[in-house]
Amino acid sequence: MALHQLRNIGIAAHIDAGKTTLTERVLFLAGVKRKMGEVHDGQATMDFMKQEQERGITIASAAISCKWRNSQINIIDTPGHVDFTIEVERSLRVIDGMVAVFCAVSGVEPQSETVWTQADKYHVPRIAFVNKMDRTGADYEQAIKMMNEYLDAKALPFQLPIGVEDDFEGLIDVIEQKAYKFVEFERVEMEIPDEYKESASKAREAIIDAVAEYDEELMEMYFDEQEIPADMLRRVARTAALKLMITPVFCGAAYKNKGVQLLLDAVEDYLPSPLDVGAVVASDVDDNEKTHTRNPSTKDPFAALAFKLIHDPYVGQQTFIRIYSGKLESGMQVLNVSEGKPERIGRIMKIRAKEREEVTEAGPGDIVALIGMKHTKTGHSLVDPKNPVVLESIAAPPSVIEMSIIPNSRKDSGKLGEALASLSNEDPSFTTRYDEQTDETVIAGMGELHLEIMVDRIKHEFGVDATVGEPKVAYRETITEEVQREYRHVKQTGGKGQFAQAAIRLEPNSGKGYEFTNHIKGGAIPAEFIPSVDKGIRKTLAKGVLAGFPIEDVKVVLYDGKYHPVDSSDQAFQTCGSIVFKEAFMKAHPVLLEPVMQVEINTPDEYLGEIVGGLNKKRAKVESMRRFRKGSQKIVALVPLVNMFGYATQLRNVSSGRASYSMDFHQYMPLPPSIQEDVLKKLEEEKKAEAK
């Protein structure tokens, strides 16, 4: 199939907006499936993980292909729950266009805003689908108004509903000025009802008015008050949508099979092919400032990005890649430029959710899974060894909640290590560390549900019998002052000794992570031992100094030192680097950082005062309150994660179950001194109790 006929799209939205149900209808109508699966009975094609079927939610983004009219559509269905935001992030990194799904009753919800912002980050053109038009309380105009008010979406209705709630029976195509009703799975064309003709005409005028500036011929016809042909208007509207100047809005009721065919038409009409997206910009291997382009053509050198890893019990690890240029063939060798290591391409698979189809080659725009990759992880670039470039990677959000996990037998200890390695490879937002003081493995993730799913997979998918602790906040450590420190490491134990001396300046490095700078002059420390100092410090960063939490946002300047021609070694300078860093860290007024969440609460007006009062008791900073819908408010607040445990129950009790909330990681912020003292004291008591 030609490149201009290919559509790589993602379907994304707030949880429970109907993304997976919509995808099931798409697959059925496109002939991929003979039977429609349902989320509520655990039979959805895209929700094929056991944990997804049990909970009725999407956890891992799944990829599937189908054909519609003249196009091949590769669909990535993504989760709506904020704990799995990494899945949305990496999907948006590799897709070309997006269908943003909104509930006709709820409109723009908190996670809708998060997804929209992520799509803005990657400049992804999108269309909107207002789902559940048959539900009580559905309001199409209000949903579009919210898109424009809260998302600055420049949303324009390309369809109008005929009827609403129980009376929702069909749709008006605004550009064609045609109406359709839906009988079983068929769309039947009909006359636009008289009472809708004026609103349909006004909606078409609004589209013409919004897109006229993108085409001179259309603008002239508009000013001359000539009739604009549907094909011309669709072509110009497509141009505006691809430039992110408008968001075409469509509607329907996926569960009742209404509007899905017209949405598929819109995917072909208004979302980009790889040719529309054009060349991808990559960085030079040796110079980050220098860039190269890779065009969606088999004539350009091969370049692809690994965006997802899945552990498959039947074939092992699957590495999902998006190919941007060149041709990939079984047996060829590529370079993992991120690791600097070659990879041999074994089996290439086109994925249909949990089903696989083996192919011998793939080209630009294709999304395929590779079996047997040894070094490749999420965000790594796979390229032609003779023409290496680095594609933009995928940023993993920091983990904010952690818990201990202890294998119940020695046999399970080895299996646990394998499971954790596999899961952390799959999901960069899931991290693990070993706490030497408590002799425990600690796992960390994006939220309670995230860790619950991971523990479930460890136990059932990998067969590990383990005991887990209570969820805890994942604190971080940093410094607030600049200090200088020097340390001499000398050890003599008969035979060759150890000698290393290093002087460092330790500085706060807010928001920039860890930096190591070498200012050694005159060979005070030989060049081969400089990385050893850095290595020793890096090991200390992971273990922490103040309370055993990872250290971040510090800059180390190595400016002096000494060595011994016989007794100096890599190990000696590693040890010296670790000790001098620890001493400097404790002198630099260290503080604990806590994860602070952006919490969004939708509540009826009558509970507003009590909810805000409750937030104030949680050290919350209320950022804004605004009218959400008639009779309800949206509260946006920054709240320390430690105070959000059990909040779902509290909110339900306060509002009689009528208020809802979502939260997303905002940033790490210093703990107030009095609370830090309490936290450190409590940690000390816990360690003493565990030691007994």
Phi, psi at 391, each rounded to 5°: -80, 155
CA distance 108 to 73: 26
DSSP 8-class letter at 286:
S
Give 561's strand partners: 502
Give 67's strand partners: 72
CA distance 51 to 209: 48
Q: What is the pLDDT of residue 345?
A: 93
Q: What is the full DSSP assignment across 605-632?
A: GGGHHHHHHHHHTTT-EEEEEEEEETTE
CA distance 611 to 150: 22
Neighbour order of strands in the sheet with 6-13: 62-68, 71-77, 6-13, 97-103, 126-131, 247-251, 155-157
CA distance 11 to 409: 43
Q: What is the pLDDT of residue 585?
A: 97
The reported pTM is 0.73
Residue closest to 633 by CA, chosen among 612, 654, 656, 663: 612
Extract the tokens encoding 672.
């107030």
Question: What is the end-to-end Cα distance of the chain in Å, rounded?
Answer: 68
Stretches where the chain sits below pLDDT 50 are 37-62, 80-82, 353
Q: What is the pLDDT of residue 93?
A: 81
Q: What is the pLDDT of residue 55?
A: 34
CB-based contacts of 523: which residues, under 8 Å, 6+ apart? none
**Helices within 256-341 (DSSP H only):** 260-270, 274-277
Give per-residue pLDDT as tens, 258-282. Answer: 999 999 999 999 999 999 999 999 9
Angle, alpha carbons 645-647-651 (nearest 5°):
175
Q: What is the pLDDT of residue 324?
A: 95
Per the CB < 8 A criterion, the answer to whether 431 and 550 are in contact is no
Buried-state track 14-40, b at ≥16 Cβ within 10 A, e below 16: bbbbbbbbbbbbbbbbbebbeebbebe
Q: What is the pLDDT of residue 52?
A: 34
Per the CB < 8 A criterion, the answer to whether 515 and 555 are in contact is yes
Distances (CA, A) of 424 to 415, 522, 614: 14, 43, 36
Neighbour order of strands in the sheet with 514-518: 483-491, 498-508, 554-562, 514-518
H or E element, residue 363 = none
